[in-house]
Amino acid sequence: MADSLTLQFADLETDVLTGIYSEETGKPQPLRITIEADYKIADRYDPDTPLDASKNYMDLKFAATDGLPEGVHFKLIESLADHICETLFAQDRNVLAVTVKIVKLAIAEHNEKIGITMRRERR
């Protein structure tokens, strides 16, 4: 088995303009987003290894919050997940793959987890 490094930012709750129905358009929807980024692993991580040998976890959060274009309405959460993946690939060439899980909180009636999981690999 090959060495691997996956960075994770889990269960971020944020409001995003998304949805296809008239009652959804024009207002933000609450989402729960988890992002995993497979990262090119260093040969070794000594106690004094600098941050540039890995990735700042806050970059994952940025891709799902401040990194979203202001005022853009994502009809599908798939397009939101795609945007998050592309943002992380553009930020850092050492990101090899990204997995984004999005749960739509507003449509759950009995605490169901309704949403998608998308995985993209660098092309």
Answering whether pTM is above 0.85, one says yes
Specify whether the CB–CB gap between 100 and 111 falls below 8 A.
Answer: no
Alpha-carbon distance of 5 to 41, in angstroms, equals 6
Alpha-carbon distance of 82 to 74, in angstroms, equals 10
Residue 17, beta-bridge partner list:
28
Q: What is the pLDDT along the chain (123 residues), one digit of tens a residue?
A: 789 999 999 999 999 999 888 777 788 999 999 999 999 998 899 999 998 888 899 999 999 999 999 999 999 999 999 999 999 999 999 999 999 999 999 887 888 889 999 999 999
| The predicted structure's pLDDT at residue 63 | 97
| CATH code of the domain occupying 5-121 | 3.30.1130.10
What b-and-e string marks burial along 42-57, b requiring 16 or more CB atoms within 10 Å of the CB?
Answer: eeeeeeeeeeebbbee
Alpha-carbon distance of 78 to 101, in angstroms, equals 10
3-state helix vs strand vs coil in the chain, percent to 5: 20, 35, 45
| The predicted structure's pLDDT at residue 109 | 83
| The predicted structure's pLDDT at residue 22 | 78
| The predicted structure's pLDDT at residue 40 | 92
